[in-house]
Amino acid sequence: MSLNVERIVTGPFQENSYVIWQDGSPSCLVIDPGDDPELIIETILGKGLHPIAVVNTHAHLDHIGGVSDLKEKYGIPFYLHPNEKSVLDGYERDCAFFGMTPKVTPTVDHWLNTGELKVGDFLIQCVETPGHTPGGTCLVINDHVFTGDTIFAGSVGRTDLPGGDWNTLCESLVKAMKEIPGDYILHPGHGLHTTLKNEMLKNPFLIPLLKRVNS
């Protein structure tokens, strides 16, 4: 089945929220609904979709602002990696740091684990990629990968926020390059989509790590 991916850019950090659905089924997942839930709902309505869950790559303030509104409107569960609890708990503090008014901190219904997760008809391979945050996870669905703020087109996630760690991120990037096929489409938390193959050729943060991928 082929996966449809709609990107909705939300909030002051220009964060990518994604609505995804399979051909022939109205069931959709919402990934990282960062802000502007009304824009996300507009997309869902416009495509005639039926949300079944919110699944997040991580819990930074620019990725979770729309979660509570979507949970309330559709009565759907929220999935997050357990190591993101400290990030989620720091949501109001982080909003104050960036001078933003916090939304309602969402409650987590299911904690993600490494490996396979089935949500409705979606089979999600959870590849743990800590470093940007302690529980950052790449979500592999069919031949698409939602990378959160781990990998961007031409860059990688910052590690100077609470819970971030550069060496851990480097280990995760090596692991991602080993485990995720190069031609899968990467959908980052900010900016345009890319592929790992493309990033391994051009991304200045990945190129120095290539020797560790082949060792």
147: Cα within 13 Å, side-chain hemisphere: 31
- Written as six digits, the tokens of 94 are 């982080």
Residue from the set 106, 131, 134, 189 that interacts with Zn ion by CB under 5 A: 189
Q: Does the protein bind Zn ion through residue 60 (CB under 5 A)?
A: yes
Q: How far is the CB of 136 from Zn ion (least distance, A)?
A: 8
Q: Are strands 122-128 and 115-119 parallel, antiparallel or unpaired?
A: antiparallel
Comparison of 15 and 69: residue with beta carbon closer to Zn ion: 15
From candidates 65, 149, 164, 169, binder to Zn ion by CB under 5 A: 149
Binding Zn ion (rule: CB under 5 A), the pick from 35, 62, 69, 199 is 62
Which range, of 35-43, 45-53, 106-114, 185-193, touches Zn ion by CB under 5 A? 185-193
C-alpha to C-alpha distance for 59 and 170, rounded to whole angstroms: 20
Q: Does 35 sit near Zn ion (CB under 5 A)?
A: no
3-state SS string for 48-91: CCEEEEEECCCCCHHHHCCHHHHHHHHCCCEEECHHHHHHHHCH
Residue numbers of the site for Zn ion (CB under 5 A)? 60, 62, 149, 189
